[in-house]
Amino acid sequence: MKKKQKKMKKIRLHPISGYLLLIIITIIASFILSLFNLQTTYNVVNSSDLSLNQVTIVIKNMLSFTGLKEIISSAAINFMSFAPLGTFLIASIGLCVCEASGLLKVLFGRVLEKLNGKFITFMIIFIATISTLINDIGYVILIPLAAIIYKSKGKNPLTGICAAFCGVAFASGTTIFIGSIEASIIPYTTSAARLIDSTYHVSLLSNIFIMIMSSIILSIIGTIIIEKIIAPKLGKYQNKKEIEINDNVELIDEPVSEYEQEQHILSNQYNEKRGLRMALISFIVIVIMFIYSVIPNLPFSGLLLDMQEETYLKQIFGNNSYFQDGFTFMISLLFFVPGVFYGFGSRKFKNDKDLINESAKCLGYVGEMIILIFIAAQFISIFKMSNLGTIISSILANFLNSLEFGGIPFLIISFIVMAVANIFLTGTQAKWIIFSPVVVSVLMRSNISPQFSQFLMRASDSVTNGINPLFAYFVIYLGYLNYYNLDKDKPITINKAIKIIIPYFVIITISWLFILLGWYIIGLPIGPNVYPTI
């Protein structure tokens, strides 16, 4: 007799269920570790007197009476203050109006038809890479836009989602100019450097050369990974629903004269041209308004600048910059307003009801995304409240501090350790507060400049973003993967979403190391009059 082998069915948790499971694991882990009274200390530089102050972090038991009370009472605040929520909703409104009007379809049909697919992939990854200049706009605008672009080209939109997400996540340490992140972490680099040299100064432009070159190099490598590895793995996109609809549609031939057909075509062409003309004019007007709003010292100008700051870079990229805080809304307007003008100009929208109804249809996917964002927000907040991330990062920083060597070996180990720490503590500033006193001072004693140490941290900060469910914008990537996933009975799980881009993670991590070591060995300037060595 042959034994019947029963195949175990794969457990395929929906992403929402996956995040719920992670919440339970976090709460239980905090309870178990609290039994051992887990705690650690790390050093923070006091910028006023350059002394090292010890900070002690203790595990918080989230299963205790106090912990559970905090989870329940902060749930609404966690959701409302979760960064991806607001940016996702604002960006979605602008994109959906633009798509519902037909403007995106017309633009992509005219522009993308002539472009090579590989060039489109490169441009998506490159724009995604440099988008980290301003907050995290790349995640909420470029991911859905890339999906639409790929679908319009007859390619798998899942590939576009991966290209945009990987471009932003795995190269967040680079851009073509100085962004808000550099402005926020430079004070900690400077304070750490002054532990060795009390007069040391780190400027905003210290890493500009290496950032620009890294953006280009990583975009080229990323394009090869997407086109040669990830796209073939995802395969072709066959919209089963559209096929079924087309199969069931009965075509009824109605007699239409050639004259009527010609008039109909001419009317559509005229409406389309008028719509495009109106959209272009509105686009130019908005762009001029935005540019004028960031020019200081002109009549009614500087609307988006923080005029309390002395330098222009801090006025536009400082902590209280209106430009930085309002950038997502501004980009959404660049889609919303031209979309409205094109819709009415092309007769797609005949009144305000058409505008609202058509846009609402496009926003149909928002419901599931909001539930996913709500659960992810709770997981990330509970993990943060437990202090697990800070404790793990502190332990790793103390490990680096215990090493008795410097130079290239320490540089490589620091890169790996900070990349691991980024999985548990995703905030760049929070992480650099812990690691800068160790990494900067040890590497300075090895004749490696603090500016290069800062770029080392930015590189390690990038490599694990894309494979990290604790990274806030991972939920946007996961949500769009499932929106464009045709087999709703087999949702793309957290695990599968990570597996898809593992090749990107591995190759880009190696590429980052080659960039860092190559730049250091050759001794190329990393910024104006700034080198890897002191």
DSSP per residue, 16-51: HHHHHHHHHHHHHHHHHHHHTT-EEEEEEEETTTTE
Question: Can you give the pTM of this predicted structure?
Answer: 0.86
Q: At what angle do helices 428-445 and 407-424 cross, to 10 degrees?
A: 170
How far is it, in rounded angstroms, from Cα 328 to Cα 427?
20
Confidence check: pLDDT of 377 > 60: yes
- Candidates 137, 119, 138; CA nearest to 128 is 138
Task: Look at residue 252 in the predicted model and tell me its pLDDT.
Answer: 43
Least confident of 114-123, 287-296, 315-324: 315-324
**Residue that has been written with the tokens 């494979």 in this structure:** 467
How far is it, in rounded angstroms, from Cα 414 to Cα 368?
39
The residue-averaged pLDDT of 126-132 equals 85
Q: Which residues contact 398 (CB under 8 A, 6 or more apart)?
A: 40, 41, 42
How far is it, in rounded angstroms, from Cα 194 to Cα 200?
6
Nearest 10 degrees: CA dihedral of 398, 29, 460, 168? -160
Query: Which has more pLDDT, 18 or 110?
Result: 18
Task: Look at residue 299 in the predicted model and tell me its pLDDT.
Answer: 81
Q: Which two tokens stand for residue 371?
A: 């539930």
Q: What is the pLDDT of residues 188-241, one digit of tens each?
A: 899 999 888 888 888 888 888 999 999 999 999 999 999 999 999 998 876 554
The three-class DSSP label of residue 498 is helix
How far is it, in rounded angstroms, from Cα 466 to Cα 452?
23
Task: Look at residue 284 in the predicted model and tell me its pLDDT.
Answer: 93
How far is it, in rounded angstroms, from Cα 447 to Cα 533?
5
Least confident of 80-89, 305-314, 348-357, 384-393: 305-314
Task: Look at residue 4 in the predicted model and tell me its pLDDT.
Answer: 45
pLDDT classification of 244: cutoffs 50, 70, 90: very low
As a whole-number percent, the residues of the chain with pLDDT over 70 amount to 90
Task: Look at residue 517 in the predicted model and tell me its pLDDT.
Answer: 93
Instruction: Give the CB-side neighbour count of residue 208, counting CA atoms within 13 A.
Output: 13
How far is it, in rounded angstroms, from Cα 442 to Cα 372?
42
How far is it, in rounded angstroms, from Cα 333 to Cα 518?
42
As a whole-number percent, the residues of the chain with pLDDT over 90 amount to 45
Arithmetic mean of pLDDT over the chain = 85
Confidence check: pLDDT of 37 > 80: yes
Confidence check: pLDDT of 251 > 50: no
**Residue that has been written with the tokens 């037909």 in this structure:** 102
Residue 487: Cβ within 10 Å count: 8
**Using alpha carbons only, how large is the chain's radius of gyration in Å?**
26
pLDDT classification of 460: cutoffs 50, 70, 90: very high
Least confident of 28-37, 105-114, 245-254, 337-346: 245-254
Judge contact between 79 and 372, C-beta under 8 A.
Answer: no
Task: Look at residue 3 in the predicted model and tell me its pLDDT.
Answer: 46
How far is it, in rounded angstroms, from Cα 133 to Cα 528?
19
